[in-house]
Amino acid sequence: MSDIKDVIDRKTNTDEEELERQRNCIKIASELVRERSEHLGHSITYHVTTFGCQMNARDSEKLSGILEQCGLTYEDDELEADVVIYNTCTVRDNANQKFFGHLGSLGAVKKKRSDMIVGVCGCLSQEKSAREKILASYPFVALIFGTHNVFDLARLLVIVLTREVTKGRGSTVTEVWDDTDRVVEDMPVKRNYSFKSGVNIMFGCNNFCSYCIVPYVRGRERSRTSEDIIGEIKRLAAEGVKEVMLLGQNVNSYGKGLSEDITFAGLLQKVEKIDCIERIRFMTSHPKDLSDELIDVMAASDKICRHIHLPLQSGSTRILASMNRHYTKEQYIDLALRIRERIPDIAITTDIITGYPGETDEDIDDTIDVIEKVGFDGAFTFIYSKRTGTPAASMPDQVPEDVVKRNFDRVLAKVQEISTKQAARIEGRVMDVLVEDINRQDPSLVTGRLSNNLNVHFPGDASLIGKIVDVKLTQCKGFYYIGERII
Ligand code: SAM
Ligand code: SF4
């Protein structure tokens, strides 16, 4: 026991020392899991439930990787698992509500299964008020940790398993950090797909858009070195990965703060050189930092996918200024049209918020005007959600619900009209498709993705999964295609 305490409490000064400590924690956790399994008479299972964005999906792969190294096995049903981790999102209030709904349902199950261990991590745990709510109303939660210490799960599991914390109020292990400069490389990861993978290139965000909580819960922007990123992608390529998605809240500011002199476009050029990587995607691009260099690199590339997600948020220059986005309506349109001119087959998708404080019908007209002029291939449309602590939350002229709903419907209808037209542009063409899965509705079909991110369903079987094949796009169904394979 004193050895365990020593490892748990040891202070580390470098990322390498921390990695060593985590490896020791995994060994100790594996032993504790083995003992628990013998005591209960069955293997210990886990389930990680993910809410939110691609960043969270990637963190969940890391959480699953650590849990499997600790000897736990995957259980598909959240309500049946012995260890359940909720990786939460708090970007909009409906994400919070969804999570608390899950937690409530699990509470009823937990009453009958005292051995179950419930953990909560992710963006919502970074918020003090949310943590207080969990501690007060869901005392069965054994562990709360945050976005900065995902790598620490094995150590936290050791603490939970050795403290008998599952037995009542006040014993929840809570370790949430406000920020970190730690980037612990080479921790285990369990990938959801064998042929594609997300790769974090940076963490956090420095932009402080007035409506957004992400900078408060994900901390300051930190880029990984290109050496670490390229090393990871080479390993993924050796394991059979064909497509990588480079992840960051604002990939266009990649490299700031690193000792090496590198831009995001420069990083893409390095990734392009890796053999066996056939497709490169990235997410998300902030319009204010998108360089001509990036457009040139994309235009010249055979591997960078013909898709860019370029969040607009609003088409009104007045609202954009209040949102702290650092571009005008005209600058956004000019940028999007320049991208289209240089890369004609590109799909441009976006995020749009309606109901931001002070938004008028004229502002919505501007948003609709941008949708028409840019011709978006797709858009996520969101109703503004007030996030406590952000500047927009205390702005005076919050928009009444009925007005927001009316404007949201206008924006959504325009997005659907334009994106359906855009999708039909490529009907009849033969294009590369990376096959991802068996179709959920019809098992005689497989589902794949075009370089421009549209889905295609066509006859095929599981042997095609992970392969890139030629498919004729026979029928456009608005936001997806029906096709047939060309051999
Ligand atoms: N970093 C990315 C960027 O700047 O575009 C986006 C990250 S955020 C998780 C994804 C999207 O959520 C944003 O583009 C924005 O449209 C939306 N969003 C963020 N805060 C929101 C809020 N308070 N209410 C509604 N939508 C919000
Ligand atoms: Fe949020 Fe803006 Fe950062 Fe995107 S860039 S995560 S919208 S603060």
| Mean pLDDT computed over 249-268 | 96
| Mean pLDDT computed over 229-258 | 96
| CB 312 less than 6 A from any atom of ligand 2 | no
| CB 92 less than 6 A from any atom of ligand 2 | no
**Residue that is written with structure tokens 């599991």 in the block:** 157
- Ligand 1 centroid from CA 159, angstroms: 35
Radius of gyration for the chain, computed over Cα atoms and rounded to the nearest angstrom: 23
Indicate the average pLDDT of the chain.
95
Give percent helix, percent strand, percent coil of the chain, each to the nearest 5: 40, 20, 35
Instruction: Count Cβ atoms below 10 Å from residue 372 Cβ, excluding itself.
Output: 13
| CB 110 less than 6 A from any atom of ligand 2 | no
- Residues 330-368: tens digit of each pLDDT: 999 999 999 999 999 999 999 999 999 999 999 999 999
Q: Token pair of 427, please?
A: 């009907």
- Residues 31-69: tens digit of each pLDDT: 999 999 999 999 999 999 999 999 999 999 999 999 999
- List strand residue ranges (DSSP E) for 340-450, in order: 347-354, 378-383, 430-438, 445-450
Distance (Å) of CA 359 to CA 44, 67, 196, 382, 390 = 52, 46, 40, 14, 17
- pLDDT (0 to 100) of residue 164: 57
| Mean pLDDT computed over 19-33 | 95
Whole-angstrom distance, CA of residue 214 vs CA of residue 220: 10
- pLDDT (0 to 100) of residue 165: 44
Going by C-beta distance under 8 Å and a sequence separation of 6 or more, which residues neighbour residue 97?
none
Atom of ligand 1 nearest to the CA of 53: 9
**Ligand nearest the Cα atom of residue 325:** 2
Which residue's CA lies nearest to atom 4 of ligand 1?
286
Q: How confident is the model at residue 221 (pLDDT cuts 50, 70, 90)?
A: very high
Confidence check: pLDDT of 9 > 90: no
- Answer yes or no: are the C-beta atoms of 379 and 413 closer than 8 Å: no
Mutation probe of ligand 2 site: the residue of 55, 92, 209, 356 with most atoms within 8 A of C-beta = 209
**Ligand nearest the Cα atom of residue 349:** 1
Atom of ligand 1 nearest to the CA of 284: 2
| Mean pLDDT computed over 434-443 | 96
Whole-angstrom distance, CA of residue 274 vs CA of residue 236: 10
Mutation probe of ligand 1 site: the residue of 54, 97, 212 with most atoms within 8 A of C-beta = 212
- Ligand 1 centroid from CA 52, angstroms: 11
Mutation probe of ligand 2 site: the residue of 91, 283, 286, 312 with most atoms within 8 A of C-beta = 286
Q: What is the pTM of this model?
A: 0.94
Which residue's CA lies nearest to atom 1 of ligand 1?
249
DSSP bridge partners of 84: 47, 118
Q: How confident is the model at residue 163 (pLDDT cuts 50, 70, 90)?
A: confident
Which residue's CA lies nearest to atom 4 of ligand 2?
249
N-to-C CA span, the chain: 63
Q: Dihedral through CA 199, CA 201, CA 204, CA 207, nearest 10? A: -120
Could you tell me what percent of the chain has a pLDDT over 70?
98
- pLDDT (0 to 100) of residue 166: 44
Confidence check: pLDDT of 183 > 90: no
- List strand residue ranges (DSSP E) for 211-296, in order: 222-223, 243-247, 279-283
Q: How confident is the model at residue 169 (pLDDT cuts 50, 70, 90)?
A: very low
Whole-angstrom distance, CA of residue 184 vs CA of residue 224: 10
- pLDDT (0 to 100) of residue 450: 98
- Answer yes or no: are the C-beta atoms of 287 and 335 closer than 8 Å: yes
- pLDDT (0 to 100) of residue 341: 97
- Residues 364-421: tens digit of each pLDDT: 999 999 999 999 999 999 999 999 999 999 999 999 999 999 999 999 999 999 999 9
Which residue's CA lies nearest to atom 21 of ligand 1?
212
| CB 215 less than 6 A from any atom of ligand 2 | yes
| CB 91 less than 6 A from any atom of ligand 2 | no
Whole-angstrom distance, CA of residue 264 vs CA of residue 296: 12
Whole-angstrom distance, CA of residue 426 vs CA of residue 234: 33
**Residue that is written with structure tokens 């007005």 in the block:** 403
Give the angle 265-268-273 at the CA atoms, nearest 5°. Answer: 135
Confidence check: pLDDT of 283 > 60: yes
What are the pocket residues of ligand 1 if the criterion is a CB atom closer than 6 Å to any ligand atom? 53, 91-92, 211-212, 214, 249-250, 284, 286, 311, 313, 351, 353, 382, 384-385, 387
| CB 161 less than 6 A from any atom of ligand 2 | no
DSSP bridge partners of 144: 120, 174
- pLDDT (0 to 100) of residue 168: 46
Which residue's CA lies nearest to atom 5 of ligand 1?
311
- pLDDT (0 to 100) of residue 26: 96
- Residues 469-486: tens digit of each pLDDT: 999 999 999 999 999 999
